[in-house]
Amino acid sequence: MSEQTEITLDELRHLVSERALSGETVLLNMGPQHPSTHGVLRLLLELDGETVVNCVPDIGFLHTGIEKNMEAKTYEKAEVMTDRLDYLNTVGNNLVYCLAIEKLADLDVPPRAQAIRVILTELQRLASHLVWLGTHALDMAAMSTFLYCFREREMILDIMEMCSGQRMMTTYFRPGGLWRDVPVGFETAVRQFVRIFPARIDQYESLLTKNPIFLDRTKGIGIISAEEAIRWGLTGPTLRGSGPNYDVRKAYPYSGYEQYDFDVPTATSGDVYGRYVIHVEEMRQSLRIIQQALDKLPYGPVRSNNRKYVPPPRSELGVSMEAVIHHFKLWTEGFSLPRGAVYLPVESPRGELGVYLESDGGPKPHRVHYRTPSFVHLQALPLLARGHLVADLVAIIGSIDIVLGDIDR
Amino acid sequence: MEHLTLVIQALQERFAAQRCDFCGDPSWLIDAAQLVPACRALRNEFGFEMLACQTASDYWPQMSPRFHVVYNLHSLTHRTRLNLRVPVEGDNPVVTSIVSLYPNANWHEREIWDMFGIRFDGHPDLRRILMPYDWEGHPLRKDYPLGYEEPQFTFNFDEIARRKHRGRYEEA
């Protein structure tokens, strides 16, 4: 082993206070393999007794270089990697990438594909919120909620599997539409889910919302004011828990969200409980969107027929020479986008998920950057955690809803 | 929309911003020296309270200056977004940090330093963030090779470690 593998104390000196150097406070390492850090997050804690004086997040344990890898692949092949970023919001990552390509290429998406995209993204939001709710409650020792949440999440993953053949890494959305139309039985499955789910949300609420232990652990913990939240760039439920009513789906509608009638819940307390209330209410609103999208699900094609970007269907290959040429070109060289750069945000379950996509006119992206909400939210963790107990730190990490795959990319 | 027109007018007159002729989002090229005053004016006078995204792009070897640092500022009150691009030279790339204006630029700038090797003047804590702290080179640069790295096993651990610290990648 080389002698340089340990970081020297001098390099970390500026991160901790004078009291830590004199030994008055204790430095404690939390993670990276800790069950309540929701992945491989390492925190360097400075503790005064049991009170957190400072906390320094250390990330990068899950860094996979996806942004670099995407630069070496054609646009369509690179999409497969986007699923692996935020593994609880896979179709959302596909969606933002496809929307960016469609914006650069000026590609139209048929209405049926847009509606199915909305249904699946909202189902994914429910699945993500269920994982969030289950693990967040589990962090505070409420074991049963976790089991109930994963029961319903399984139904959503079954619907994903029905459409794409995969439970999680779907890559179902493609530039210009969908991989293929949804199968027979999709509508029935979603309708059944929408029918039973409201009662299940009430069930989770009966376990937590008025539970005195849960209230003690969450009320008044990890408060952030609206001004601070905006200054730190927080978005999604974490921002709305403090008051500002900003939701990308309402502010910059995409994929036909402007057609649906839904509310954006906000709270004013800005604490862990406020963020919990918003997550639960968002589940109800997502159901409303799914219901509306299902009711007016149009018939028609699910992928654009612009052959410069979208490969022809299999049935055309036997009868059209042009289709064969397009098929060959698109699956060997890939399509080229005009030179340019876009930044496109969507509302992921965690907040504003943006993709910065730059094309140099060739068949491979020049630069892809994912602006991920978890990365921005984790930055504000020291601010939220200061002055709280170590046990509350666990509640705060849970409440800002981070996914480490989303942070490290 | 009128708000955005006003902002762009101010940017052009006071900070000599130039329109960048890309397709996609309109963006404004701004000189590195004007960045902090421009951001301060945008935040305090024009209501761009939030830094939505900050990243960089490498144009080696076609273009000079080599890098662009890209800022996406967001105004919640006016529902507008603004893209700023700051060109940075390839040798000894430095930009002024905007952490004092937008605290969340802290990690974004650390990531850009880590991935592109662009330094940020006035940054409180410019360390690598995603790569290991003793990593050499900046992976998202276009002259940094993708893959082809020999895996480190017990039998060749020392040899590769020695090679790693000899400095394979020149600092630009």
A343 touches chain B (CB under 8 A): yes
Candidates A3, A107, A356, A370: best to mutate against B (most CBs of B within 10 A) is: A356
| B37 in a structural domain | yes
In a domain, A96, yes or no: yes
Q: Which residues of A touch B22 (CB under 8 A)?
A: 339-341
Q: How many structural domains are present in chain B?
A: 1
What's the one-letter identity of residue B160? I
Does residue A76 share a domain with residue A53? Answer: no
Q: Mind giving me the DSSP string for A211-260?
A: -HHHHHHHTTSS---HHHHHHTT--HHHHHTTS----HHHHS--TTGGGS
Instruction: Retrieve residue B19's tokens.
Output: 């329109």
Give the pLDDT of residue B1. Answer: 65
Question: How far is the C-alpha of B126 from the C-alpha of B106, rounded, in Å?
Answer: 8
- Supply the mean pLDDT for chain A: 88
Asked whether the beta carbons of residue B70 and residue A356 sit closer than 8 angstroms, the reply is yes
Question: Which DSSP state fits A389?
Answer: B
Residue B145 lies in a domain: no
Whole domain around residue B35: which residue ranges? 2-131
Is the pLDDT score of B171 beyond 70? Answer: no
Check pLDDT > 50 for residue A406.
Answer: yes
Q: Which chain B residue has the Cα nearest residue A229?
A: B50
Q: What is the pLDDT of residue A128?
A: 93
By C-alpha distance, the chain A residue nearest B108 is A376
Quick check: B23 contacting A, CB < 8 Å? yes
Residue B157 lies in a domain: no
The pLDDT of residue A118: 93
Read off the pLDDT band of A7 (50, 70, 90).
low
Diameter over CA atoms, chain A: 81
Supply the CATH number for residue A350's domain. 1.10.645.10
Same domain, A25 and A106: no
CA distance A100 to A341: 9
Between A58 and A15, residue with greater pLDDT: A58
Q: What's the confidence (pLDDT) of residue B164? A: 66
The residue in chain B having the minimum alpha-carbon distance to the alpha carbon of residue A102 is B24
A57 in helix, strand or coil? strand
Closest CA to A294 of A195, A215, A216, A177: A195
Question: Which pLDDT score is estimated for A9?
Answer: 60
Separation CA A173–CA A255 (nearest Å):
12
Contacts with A356 from chain B: Cβ below 8 Å: 53, 55, 70, 72
CA-based nearest residue in chain A for residue B155: A1
**Digit-coded pLDDT (tens) for A214-230:** 888 888 888 899 988 99
Structural domain count of chain A? 2
Q: Which residues of B touch A4 (CB under 8 A)?
A: 134, 165
Has residue B160 been placed in a domain? no
- pLDDT per position as a tens digit, B15-51: 777 887 776 778 888 888 888 988 888 888 888 888 9
Q: Which residues of A touch B83 (CB under 8 A)?
A: 341, 343
A175: three-class secondary structure by DSSP: coil
Q: Which of A60, A233, A244 sits opposite B51 (nearest CB)?
A: A233
Token readout for A61 is 């344990």
Q: Assign B170 a pLDDT band (cuts: 50, 70, 90).
A: very low
The count of C-alpha atoms lying within 13 angstroms of the C-alpha of B84, restricted to the half-sphere facing its C-beta, is: 28
Place of tokens 């940020």: B120
List, for residues A249-308, the tens digit of each pLDDT value. 988 999 889 999 999 998 888 889 999 999 999 999 999 999 999 998 999 899 888 888
Q: Work out the number of other CB atoms within 10 angstroms of the CB of residue A237.
A: 30
Contact A246 B76 (CB under 8 A): yes
Contact by Cβ (8 Å): A274, A241: yes
pTM: 0.88
Q: Flag whether pLDDT at A23 surpasses 70.
A: yes
Q: Do B23 and A340 touch (CB under 8 A)?
A: yes
Return the closest-CA partner of residue A391 out of A49, A13, A41. A49
The Cβ of residue A234 has, within 10 Å, a number of other Cβ atoms equal to 29
Range of the domain at A43: 3-58
Is A151 a residue whose pLDDT tops 50?
A: yes
The verdict on A113 and A27 lying in the same domain is: no
**Greatest Cα pair distance in chain B:** 66
Check if the beta carbon of residue A128 is closer than 8 Å to that of residue A88: yes
